[in-house]
Structures are given as structure tokens and as C-alpha cells.
């Protein structure tokens, strides 16, 4: 998508649908942001932000970082360190001018065991807000040290963000850490009005007018197809814009699009968590990628789930029919058999890596 073609066809300065993190254009999740800010204002030390890939976690973190007052020091960390000793550099570097140099001089006696004491001395009454992204990639040892440090640094608040699997990781391996979470915020998908606002803000940021060249019908189609997940919305807008440029079409309307699907409502991990256990186990299998026959699904399930193979296949077939009816699962015919896959919106929601 060349800038010359963009200017000529749409009047934009540049392509608004690149995968750049633009906190100033953040859209949606107003209730979630309000809850985070209220928690920080009231002194929450540990906050947890979870959501599937592409739901906007990183953009939300940077939006809060750029707009939240009251903390003298704020720092965004794109990934947590795997080595606990690296927390020394992270905490030391961003406290006060000269602190990094003094902290790491060879003879100052500072180590990870007394780091919190030294940070408290340097911070005084100033507040420090740390955002840590991609926490599902952290090592258990690193998280244990982080918990200990935050416990002992008086004016530090931290927001941890990661895929939904991170919460399970805490519950399974770090229950003492999990109990310290003051506030949990879950991101899912945007509503249809929020999806329109996302497209509008992106277009207007490059000199465009409202949602043009898209029409309201196009936004409806984009929302239905992507489920309102921000990254997928941006990706699809880019693809449609590219296609319009290649066809030299300046209005992307319903005639330009494929047949509409069933509208998608806001989804949440709670939608899946509320299912019966065996239905959730089937969705876990399907979330591993690819498509599976009922027999293949049975083979991937733990032997303790079904002790009798014939009963297992009958049961899985019945559960798959229920999951299809409720919109969780799609199927396709392959030769003489059917194979099952996660429906698109839940495929995104259940990504764990």
C-alpha cells in the first residue's frame, strides 16, 4: 500500500492500519480502565490484566501509563526478565538520576536481597508505577522475586499483563503471589460501536474523514468477521484497503464484501469458564490448532476422562453437537468424515502463546 496511492484514492497522509501501538488512539474498555485507575488511586500494589492475543493489552498499558497522574516514576517493561538478578537493573535504573551508577558500583554492597531497602531509601515519598507485559513468559523464580520485592517496596504499584494462561500459572505455581492480586481486569473484544470508533480514530489520525472509505455496512461486516478483537479489526481494514487500492475503488461498501456472517457479541473467558468440564476439555484440545475428528479428540483426552473408548466417542459426538449449536465449534466435511475446529472468535480468545 504505497503512500502515493493512499493519498490519491483516500486522501490519507499514510496507512492508518499498520500494527503500531498508538496509545493516544486507544478505544473501548472504559469500565476496565476506570477500575484500574481507581485501584491505583486507592493504593493497590498488584493488579492483573489478562486477555487473548490481539485484545489490546499493550495499548491499554501504555494508554494508562501516558495518562495516569500521581506517580513520579512510571516505566513500561515489554517482557519480564527470566533471571531474578535482572530486577536489580530494572528497579535501579528508573528511580532517580545517578541511582543506576551508584547502585551498581562494585563495592556498594547492594544485591537482590537488600534491593528493596535501597529502593525505599531512594524513593522516599515518591511513587513508582511499573507495567510488566507478556508476564506469561516469566520464569517462576523471577516472579517469586518480583513478589518479594514489591511486598517490601512501600510506594510501588505494579500492573502485570499476560495471556489468560498466566492467571492459571499463578494459581498452580504461585498461590502466595496470586493471593496478593488486588485487582483483576479481563479484556475480551470490542463492542460494535467501539469497533467503529477504532476505525474512525485510525482514519482521522492520518487526515481522513470519519470512517470513509468504509460504510456502516462494511463496519458491520468487519465486526462480524473479526469478533471485535482490535488486532483483527486493524488487520482486516488493512486487507480491505489494499484490495480497494488494487481495484481503484474509493468506497468500500457491502457490494465490495463477501456475504455477512452471524453478528458476534462481546465474548469473555467467563463464557468458556462457565461451560461443563468435558466441554471445556474438548475446547482445550481444539485450541491446540488444526482440525480433529471425534476419534482424534478422544485420543488427545486424558485416559481418566473416558475409560471406555466406544462410550467416549459417542459422548464426544454429543458434546460437539452441543458446542456447535452454541457457536463454540464449527465443522467441515473431509472425505467421509467430519472434522471440528474452534469458531473464529473463540480461536482468538483461547490462544495461550
How far, CA to CA in Å, does 4 sit from each of 1, 15, 99, 238, 244?
9, 10, 49, 16, 14
Query: In sequence order, what are the residues at sequence separation of 6 or more whose Cβ sits closer than 8 angstroms to the Cβ of residue 105?
Result: none
| From the candidate CATH numbers 1.10.1760, 2.60.40, 1.10.8, 1.10.150, the one assigned to the domain spanning 3-13+190-256 | 1.10.8
Class of domain 29-186: alpha beta
Name the residue ranges covered by the structural domains of the chain: 3-13+190-256, 29-186, 269-349
pLDDT for position 107: 42
Q: What is the pLDDT of residues 121-166, one digit of tens each?
A: 877 888 888 899 999 988 898 898 888 888 888 888 899 999 888 8
Contact 100, 93 (CB under 8 A): yes
Question: Residue 41 and residue 349: Cα distance in Å, rounded?
Answer: 30
Contact 244, 256 (CB under 8 A): yes
pLDDT for position 271: 66
Q: What is the pLDDT of residues 12-23, one digit of tens each?
A: 988 899 888 888
Residue ranges in the chain whose pLDDT is less than 70: 1-4, 92-112, 258-271, 303-305, 307-310, 336, 344-353
Contact 160, 49 (CB under 8 A): yes
Half-sphere exposure of 92 (CA within 13 A, CB side): 19
Contact 210, 203 (CB under 8 A): yes
pLDDT for position 30: 87
Class of domain 269-349: mainly alpha
Q: 275-281: long-range contacts at Cβ-Cβ below 8 A with a sequence spacing of 24 or more? A: 275/328, 278/305, 278/315, 278/319, 279/319, 279/322, 279/323, 279/328, 281/305
pLDDT for position 150: 85
Question: Residue 280 and residue 273: Cα distance in Å, rounded?
Answer: 7
pLDDT for position 47: 92
Judge if pTM exceeds 0.95.
Answer: no
In total, the chain counts a number of residues equal to: 353
pLDDT for position 41: 84
pLDDT for position 218: 93
Amino acid at each position: 500500500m504505497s503512500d502515493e496511492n493512499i493519498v490519491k484514492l483516500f486522501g490519507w497522509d499514510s496507512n492508518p492500519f499498520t500494527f503500531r501501538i498508538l496509545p493516544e488512539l486507544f478505544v473501548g474498555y472504559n469500565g476496565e480502565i476506570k477500575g484500574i485507575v481507581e485501584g491505583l488511586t486507592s493504593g493497590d500494589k498488584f493488579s492483573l490484566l489478562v486477555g487473548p492475543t490481539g485484545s489490546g493489552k499493550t495499548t491499554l498499558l501504555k494508554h494508562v501509563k501516558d495518562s495516569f497522574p500521581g506517580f513520579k516514576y512510571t516505566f513500561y517493561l515489554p517482557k519480564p526478565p527470566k533471571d531474578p538478578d535482572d530486577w536489580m537493573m530494572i528497579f535501579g535504573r528508573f528511580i532517580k538520576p545517578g541511582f543506576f551508577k551508584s547502585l551498581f558500583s562494585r563495592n556498594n554492597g547492594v544485591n537482590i536481597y537488600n534491593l528493596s531497602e535501597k529502593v525505599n531509601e531512594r524513593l522516599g515519598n515518591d511513587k513508582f508505577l511499573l507495567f510488566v507485559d507478556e508476564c506469561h513468559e516469566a520464569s517462576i523464580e523471577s516472579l517469586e522475586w518480583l513478589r518479594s520485592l514489591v511486598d517490601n517496596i512501600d510506594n510501588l504499584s505494579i500492573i502485570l499483563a499476560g495471556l489468560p494462561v498466566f492467571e492459571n500459572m499463578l494459581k498452580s505455581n504461585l498461590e502466595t503471589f496470586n493471593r496478593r492480586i488486588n485487582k483483576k481486569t479481563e479484556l475480551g473484544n470490542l463492542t460494535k460501536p467501539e469497533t467503529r470508533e477504532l476505525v474512525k480514530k485510525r482514519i482521522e489520525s492520518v487526515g481522513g474523514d470519519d470512517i470513509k472509505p468504509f460504510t456502516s455496512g462494511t463496519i458491520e461486516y468487519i465486526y462480524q468477521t473479526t469478533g471485535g478483537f482490535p488486532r483483527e479489526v486493524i488487520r482486516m481494514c488493512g486487507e480491505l484497503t489494499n484490495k480497494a487500492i488494487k481495484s481503484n475503488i474509493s468506497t468500500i461498501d457491502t457490494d465490495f464484501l463477501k456475504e455477512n456472517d452471524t453478528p458476534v457479541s462481546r465474548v469473555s473467558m467467563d463464557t468458556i469458564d462457565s461451560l461443563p468440564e468435558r466441554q471445556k476439555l474438548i475446547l482445550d484440545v481444539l485450541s491446540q490448532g488444526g482440525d480433529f475428528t471425534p476419534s482424534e479428540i478422544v485420543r488427545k483426552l486424558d485416559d481418566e476422562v473416558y475409560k471406555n473408548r466406544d462410550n467416549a466417542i459417542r459422548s464426544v459426538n454429543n458434546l460437539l453437537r452441543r458446542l456447535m449449536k452454541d457457536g463454540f465449534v464449527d465443522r467441515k466435511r473431509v472425505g467421509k468424515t467430519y472434522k471440528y475446529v474452534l469458531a473464529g472468535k473463540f480461536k482468538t480468545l483461547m490462544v495461550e502463546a
